[in-house]
Amino acid sequence: MEVLGWGAVVVSLLLVLAWYLSYSAARLDRLHAKVEGALSALDAHVVRRAEASLELANSGAVDPASGVLIAAAATESLERHNERTFEADLLEGQHFAGRETVESELSEALHAALPPEVTRVIAAEGDAAAAALERVRRAGLRVQLARRFHNDAVKEVQRVRRKRVVRVFRLAGRAAMPGTVEFDDAVPGG
């Protein structure tokens, strides 16, 4: 009877361990999917911000030199996105494909061309230029939120993957460790 009792305890412990490992692996998989979804959303919002910036640059609301500066940075952002369109994995797994510098340059161009006094003048006119400026602001806010959501999801994946159980039993499989996306995403015209 004693052997059967110990056998039942061992089998029960093995079942609990198997359940825990399965639960942990499924949770980690869901977290990785969350990171991929957040990165896709960030990518879409970055494209919308570049398109809105091009629209503002072509609206005539800013001086020609500033318009060229914004248009060049927005075009570079769109080209960096489009050059990856036909690849199998647009976002390189769970990475932003090194586009942080290009996006920071677009933010810097918007800040240089749209100081607060210029944005007040454009907004006061209330025409198509004001609408384009508002689209740039809304797109910029969405980029900020999407980047924060993505980085929060990445930090959660990194926290879970640092656990000893995840490392010992290789619950992450061969999935690459996701990285945060860091670039200047401040909205112009504060």
Q: What's the pTM value of the predicted model, to 2 decimals?
A: 0.88
Query: Which residues neighbour 171 within 8 Å (Cβ) at sequence distance 6 or greater?
Result: 21, 24, 25, 28, 165
DSSP state letter for 179: -
What is the rounded CA–CA span in Å between residue 54 and residue 40? 21
> What was the pLDDT predicted at 16?
96
DSSP state letter for 127: S
Confidence of residue 84 (pLDDT cuts 50, 70, 90): low
Confidence of residue 81 (pLDDT cuts 50, 70, 90): confident
Euclidean distance between the first and final Cα of the chain, in Å?
77
Kindly report, residue by residue over 147-160, the tens digit of the pLDDT. Answer: 999 999 999 999 99
> What was the pLDDT predicted at 90?
46
> What was the pLDDT predicted at 96?
75
DSSP state letter for 174: T
Domain ranges of the chain: 29-168
Residue of 30, 28, 34 lying closest to 150 (CA atoms): 34
Average pLDDT, the chain: 90
The token pair at 168 is: 């010992």
Which has more confidence, 151 or 173?
A: 151
């052997």: which residue's tokens?
A: 3
> What was the pLDDT predicted at 1?
60
What is the rounded CA–CA span in Å between residue 162 and residue 28? 11
> What was the pLDDT predicted at 91?
46
Percent residues over pLDDT 90 in the chain: 78
| 64-82 helix and 100-113 helix, angle to the nearest 10 degrees | 160
Kindly report, residue by residue over 26-69, the tens digit of the pLDDT. Answer: 999 999 999 999 999 999 999 999 999 999 999 988 999 999 99
> What was the pLDDT predicted at 6?
93
Residue of 92, 23, 77, 13 lying closest to 45 (CA atoms): 77
> What was the pLDDT predicted at 45?
96
What is the rounded CA–CA span in Å between residue 143 and residue 167? 33
> What was the pLDDT predicted at 136?
96
What is the rounded CA–CA span in Å between residue 89 and residue 2? 57
